[in-house]
Amino acid sequence: KAGVTQTPRYLIKTRGQQVTLSCSPISGHRSVSWYQQTPGQGLQFLFEYFSETQRNKGNFPGRFSGRQFSNSRSEMNVSTLELGDSALYLCASSLVGEGAFFGQGTRLTVV
């Protein structure tokens, strides 16, 4: 079956702009989580959506937001981009008892 798909794979944005990242989970998976990975901080949890509801939220500013649609696809939005938002953004879908499966990530560069 198809894995987790993230689009786009690469993005270059200017400070102050906003960006939307997309994640399509594995078919049948209702939980989608987002993570930010940077060399200094490692992998940090952003938020989790389950059946269109945010179930968990990490310690990130309100500029980071997300949503999940009825087909379980999820989007993540970052507004007013800062240089420090440059990172690899990873999406994972999970199912009880099967663990988490990650997409290839979106590499965001803010200039």
Partner 1 sequence: KQEVTQIPAALSVPEGENLVLNCSFTDSAIYNLQWFRQDPGKGLTSLLLIQSSQREQTSGRLNASLDKSSGRSTLYIAASQPGDSATYLCAASLYYGSSNTGKLIFGQGTTLQVKP
Which residues here bind partner 1, judged by CB under 8 A? 4, 6, 31-33, 35, 42-43, 45, 48, 50, 55-56, 58, 88, 90, 92-94, 96-105, 107
CA–CA dist 17, 1 (Å, integer)? 36
Strands 10-13 vs 99-102: parallel, antiparallel or unpaired? unpaired
Q: Residue 13 CB, nearest distance to partner 1 (Å)? A: 19
Indicate if the alpha-carbon torsion angle 25, 90, 14, 84 is positive or negative.
positive
Q: Residue 80 CB, nearest distance to partner 1 (Å)? A: 26
**Cβ proximity to partner 1, 6 vs 24, nearer residue:** 6
CA 70 to chain CA centroid, Å, is 17
CA–CA dist 87, 9 (Å, integer)? 12
**Cβ proximity to partner 1, 18 vs 71, nearer residue:** 71
Q: Residue 94 CB, nearest distance to partner 1 (Å)? A: 5
**Cβ proximity to partner 1, 81 vs 93, nearer residue:** 93
**Cβ proximity to partner 1, 12 vs 17, nearer residue:** 12
Q: Residue 99 CB, nearest distance to partner 1 (Å)? A: 4
Instruction: Say if residues 17 and 81 touch (Cβ distance below 8 Å).
Output: yes
Instruction: Say if residues 82 and 70 touch (Cβ distance below 8 Å).
Output: no
